[in-house]
A and B are shown apart, each in its own frame.
Chain A
């Protein structure tokens, strides 16, 4: 598919054809309307704005499918439908404005997706494109297979799944659940996090942040290092597991960290031990550092 897309793009570039299939559409929508967006290839740039309407501008290659925008004020559907039973042969590049608290469902195969929110919710399901979410989100969910995912969010909850991609998360979140298979997981949080679960198989995990007094951090990988940068005074119950090496500890008072009951396990209790930190890597090292 990509080859054909590339070919098409090159043909267009070479012959200098004017932009085809220009799209310009708009519609009234409730401030918290449910909006379903369906486009397989190209790019989607979605931005929340302070108006009760949806506005679309962009370009749809004829082979990519037919553009449609319909539904009611509170439930809209925006789609680029490829011809029945055929793979899309072309791309759609759409710039979409949505009401501030819109609830978005975005489905794609290979489009690069960028969403900037202002308090709404978003759920992205894709296969191979890059996904970037930014802004204030009441909740954010991303599921993809081969795409890199980058979140820069302020909100209560984010959930990310990919397989080959890198996951990068920044911002202020109360709860984060992020998992990949072969990519690294890189997280830098402001404020305190209540619950974090990070999981990869073949790569490394880096977390920088702080936990609530009763917060919970769980990080697990098979093949990579896990590096945590936390405040030195974090009161927590620590369980660190690595089968290759003792933890590299530049964070906890050395006397507190001692071997656990099982092979590869190290444990510690700091302060009242209310928060929990559980870290497991099979072949990597556990590195604890002081958050700068």
Chain B
């Protein structure tokens, strides 16, 4: 366990800020890809770090801090999406008025064809693809974390890969 982590565990907020700075890019990337929405990703990222602070005492140093934080992030985002279906009920504007659009649909920083195609996958398929093919989790872990059956995870992965190939014209 690093000294910074130990100091943060002792309640040193400056040390925790250093951890935030070192890991925010990784956490945000995960939140952004999982949620597909910049505003949501910002909220999730903030919630993840607050949760990490609260749970820091349970981090025993068996794995790297980054691995622990990574799993916490996945759990936080999936849990939030499961338990608050209504939150995904974001306002959809029918008006194309530029001033309203600009602020609501903040440009997503995701670049590249594959990123965009992933962003357009249905939420379930997207989560499984990201966790399995990008993040390297196994189906049994994904099933446990997302509260779905292992077979569902496999089926979603198959679906995601097929949809991506279609979207990318390959």
A–B touch (CB < 8 A): the answer is yes
Q: A2-B84, A2-B85 are in contact. Are A206 and B91 (CB under 8 A)?
A: no
Known contacts A166-B91, A168-B104, A206-B102, A188 near B97 by CB under 8 Å: yes
| B-contact bits for A216-231, CB 8 A (1 contact / 0 none) | 0000000000010100
Nearest-neighbour CB distance to chain A for B72, whole angstroms, equals: 20
Nearest CB in chain A to that of B95: its residue: A170
| CB <8 Å contact, A148 and B90 | yes
Report yes or no: A188 in contact with B84, Cβ–Cβ below 8 A: no
CB of A110 within 8 Å of the partner chain:
yes
Q: How far, in angstroms, from A188 to B98 measured CA to CA in the complex?
A: 10
A148 to B1, CA, bound (A): 43
- CB pair A130–B99 under 8 Å, yes or no, is no
When chains A and B are docked, how far (Å) is the Cα of A156 from the Cα of B104? Answer: 26
Contact assessment for A170 and B86 in the assembled complex, using a CB-CB cutoff below 8 Å: no
Among B84, B85, B100, B102, which residue has its beta carbon within 8 angstroms of that of A168? B100
Interface residues of A in 84-114 (CB under 8 A from B): 110, 112
Interface string of B56-84 (1 = CB under 8 A from A): 00000000000000000000000000111
Which residues of A sit under 8 angstroms from B98, Cβ to Cβ?
A: 292
B78-114 interface bits toward A, Cβ cutoff 8 Å, 1 = contact, 0 = none:
0000111110011101010111101110000000000
How many chain-A residues does the 8 Å CB contact rule pick out?
25
B86/A129 in contact, CB under 8 A: yes
Contact A112 B89 (CB under 8 A): yes
Q: Name the one of B86, B91, B97, B99 contacting A2, with C-beta atoms under 8 angstroms.
A: B86
Shortest Cβ gap from B143 to chain A (Å)? 16
The answer to whether A3 touches B82 (Cβ under 8 A) is yes
A3 to B78, CA, bound (A): 13
A186 interface contact, C-beta 8 A: yes
Given contacts A2-B83, A3-B83, A188-B95, contact A130 B103 (CB under 8 A): no
Q: With A and B bound together, what is the CA distance between A208 and B98 in angstroms?
A: 10
Selected from A3, A128, A166, the residue in CB contact (under 8 A) with B104 is A166
Q: Is A175 an interface residue (CB 8 A)?
A: no
**A130-B91, A166-B91, A168-B91 given; A206·B86 CB < 8 A:** no
| A227–B82 CA distance with the chains assembled, in angstroms | 35
Bound CA span A175–B100, Å: 19
Residues from chain B with Cβ under 8 Å of A170 in the complex: 95, 97, 100
A164 → chain B closest CB, angstroms: 9
List residues of chain A with CB within 8 A of the CB of B95: 152, 170, 188
Q: Chain B contacts of A150 at CB under 8 A?
A: 91, 93
A184 pairs with B103, CB closer than 8 A: yes
Q: Closest Cβ of chain B: how far from A42's Cβ, in Å?
A: 11
Supposing A112-B89, A148-B91, A227-B99 touch, asked if A6 and B82 sit within 8 A by C-beta, the answer is: yes
Residues of B within 8 A of A166 (CB): 90-91, 104
By a CB distance below 8 angstroms, the chain B residues around A184 are 103-104
Contact B104 A6 (CB under 8 A): no
Kindly list chain A residues whose C-beta atoms are within 8 Å of the C-beta of B91. 130, 148, 150, 165-166, 168
How far does the alpha carbon of A292 sit from the alpha carbon of B97 in the complex, in Å?
Answer: 11
CB within 8 Å of B: which residues of A?
2-3, 5-6, 110, 112, 128-130, 148, 150, 152, 165-166, 168, 170, 184, 186, 188, 204, 206, 208, 227, 229, 292
The 25 sampled A-B contact pairs (Cβ below 8 Å) are A2-B85, A3-B82, A3-B83, A5-B85, A6-B82, A110-B86, A112-B86, A128-B86, A129-B86, A130-B86, A130-B89, A130-B91, A168-B91, A168-B100, A168-B104, A170-B97, A184-B103, A184-B104, A186-B100, A186-B104, A188-B95, A204-B103, A206-B100, A206-B102, A229-B99
